């Protein structure tokens, strides 16, 4: 089957580019259609957890990721007074075969894009192609396009299989589920930024602190020695419960005055949070939204992948990882099935329930639920000994349960 299949990928984000590499490695001819006229670095930091790194390593790009990201050494949780609640090793420090990378999203996309251009050829990526819909017949599928820059129609394309990797505003998701409705707001808004800053803690620590009611921070380095003086590019995320939010847009500009007051007193021995925020350049704002899991991603020769299939609130550092797992699962399904429809149904049967559980867990008990437990039990006050507040085994249990759900427990990786 693989030698006969022509696959169209709609979207050149993390999921779409990973799928292109998986298809090329499996001998499947594919072509990518991306809406933007030029791919430029966007966004800020993300984490590539060990399950995703294992897949990217098999695709031969772990060395390139290591050159531009930070191999995360530990994950640490603090209250808003800077007191350590819980710390656990991460990546190879936790005994995984492959690292966890904290990395700028643009750097990850650039590594993937370079590999796609080198292996498939730059002519396989069609920019300025907004996909407006897909029609199907017994012999294949037809994709319709318009130019993003001119809004003029473009020639259609034919394929045996179409995979919608077109993100949170997916047109192909709308085609499959036209009555779905708007995204669901969690009640939490977030602001994000990056800053050149001295190393803090180990220089490879992912730090979470506070809680959403009074203000929560996630801070970690994503590039090392960016100025020749040992300083790093630090990624930070501020999250606060609030009824106010705008529509979802990863590139929406944020205002420091809307959130800085929650963090004015966060002066730790190892990090001055308000000074870090004020030293940042561009600040982005995004509402923590998701959708209820769908009952299906697939219709005949069309299926969805990544954010188009399962948009989730960005908690647990796992959004990009699930898209990468999707791509690997779709390759496995195509390798073993006799025809396109059977392959896409098999892919959906594996990945839809798995990602639905991640969506629900991210709402209720992601790893930072550790912070919620301590915030509630202390009444948002300093503690003398964390052991007097909560048993360390209970904190470890929250973390391990999330790893199991998200698919990067040690047992889960053994079968990947």
Give the distance, in angstroms, between the CA of residue 140 and the centroid of all CA atoms in the same chain: 31
- Element (H or E) spanning 193, and its range? strand 184-197
Per-residue pLDDT at 42: 77
Quote the pLDDT of residue 259: 97
pLDDT at residue 251 in the model? 80
Confidence grade of residue 2 (pLDDT, cut at 50, 70, 90):
low
Contact at 8 Å (CB) between 138 and 160? Answer: no
Domain ranges for the chain, please list them: 2-42+105-182+299-364
For residue 407, pLDDT beyond 60: yes
Band the pLDDT of 250: cuts 50, 70, 90: confident
Residue 174 CB partners (closer than 8 Å, separation 6+): 180
CATH superfamily for domain 2-42+105-182+299-364: FAD/NAD(P)-binding domain (3.50.50.60)
Which pLDDT does position 268 carry in this prediction? 97
Average pLDDT over residues 254-264: 96
Backbone angles phi and psi of 271, in degrees to 5? -165, 130
What's the pTM value of the predicted model, to 2 decimals? 0.96
Q: What is the pLDDT of residues 11-34, one digit of tens each?
A: 999 999 999 999 999 999 999 999
Chain center to CA of 350: 19
pLDDT tens by residue, 19-78? 999 999 999 999 999 999 999 877 789 999 999 999 999 999 999 999 999 999 999 999
Is the Cβ–Cβ distance between 204 and 225 less than 8 Å? no
Number of Cα atoms under 13 Å in the Cβ half of residue 96: 30
Rounded alpha-carbon distances, angstroms, from residue 12 to 30, 160, 166, 167, 413 = 12, 19, 8, 9, 26
Tell me what the pLDDT averaged over the chain comes to. Answer: 95
Question: What's residue 3's pLDDT?
Answer: 61
Instruction: Write the DSSP string, 147-171.
Output: ETTT--EEEEEEESEEEE---TT-H
Q: Which position has the higher pLDDT, 65 or 249?
A: 65
Provide CB contacts within 8 A for 273, sequence distance 6+.
217, 219, 263, 266, 267
Residue 261, pLDDT > 70, answer yes
pLDDT > 90: what percent of the chain? Answer: 90
Q: pLDDT tens digits for 198-225?
A: 999 999 999 999 999 999 999 999 999 9
Strand pairing category for 161-164 and 302-304:
parallel
């Amino acid at each position: 089957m693989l030698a006969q299949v022509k696959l169209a990928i709609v979207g050149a984000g993390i999921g779409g580019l990973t799928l292109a590499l998986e298809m090329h490695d499996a001998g499947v001819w594919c072509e990518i259609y991306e809406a933007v006229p030029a791919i430029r670095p966007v966004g800020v930091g993300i984490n590539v957890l060990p399950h995703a790194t294992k897949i990217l390593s098999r695709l031969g790009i772990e060395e390139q990721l290591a050159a531009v990201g930070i191999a995360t050494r530990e994950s640490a949780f603090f209250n808003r007074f800077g007191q350590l609640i819980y710390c656990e090793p991460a990546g190879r420090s936790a005994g995984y075969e492959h690292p966890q990378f904290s990395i700028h999203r643009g750097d990850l996309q650039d590594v993937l894009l370079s590999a796609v251009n080198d292996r498939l050829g730059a002519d396989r990526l069609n920019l300025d192609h907004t996909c407006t819909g897909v029609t199907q017949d017994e012999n294949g599928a037809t994709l319709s396009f318009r130019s993003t820059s001119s809004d003029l129609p473009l020639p259609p394309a034919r394929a045996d299989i179409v995979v919608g990797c077109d993100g949170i505003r997916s047109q192909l998701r709308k085609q499959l589920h036209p009555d779905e409705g708007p995204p669901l707001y969690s009640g939490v808004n977030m602001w994000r930024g990056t800053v050149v800053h001295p190393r803090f803690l180990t220089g490879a620590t992912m730090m979470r602190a506070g809680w959403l009611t009074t203000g929560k921070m996630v801070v970690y380095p994503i590039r090392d020695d960016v100025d020749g003086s040992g300083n790093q590019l630090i990624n930070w995320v501020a999250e606060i419960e609030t009824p106010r939010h705008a529509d979802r847009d990863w590139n929406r500009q944020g205002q420091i005055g809307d959130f800085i007051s929650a963090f004015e007193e966060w002066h730790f021995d190892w990090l001055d949070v308000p000074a870090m925020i004020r030293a940042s350049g561009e600040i982005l704002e995004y509402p923590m939204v998701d959708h209820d899991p769908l009952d299906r991603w697939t219709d005949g020769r069309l299926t969805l992948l990544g954010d188009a299939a399962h948009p989730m609130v960005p908690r647990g550092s796992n959004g990009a990882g699930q898209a990468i797992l999707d791509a690997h699962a779709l390759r496995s399904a195509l390798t073993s099935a006799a025809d396109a429809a059977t392959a896409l149904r098999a892919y959906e049967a594996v990945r839809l329930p798995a990602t639905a559980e991640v969506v629900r867990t991210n709402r209720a008990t992601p790893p930072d639920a550790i912070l919620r437990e301590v915030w509630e039990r202390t009444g948002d006050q300093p503690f003398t000994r964390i052991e007097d507040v909560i048993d360390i085994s209970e904190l470890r249990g929250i973390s391990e349960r999330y790893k199991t759900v998200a698919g990067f427990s040690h047992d889960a990786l053994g079968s990947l």
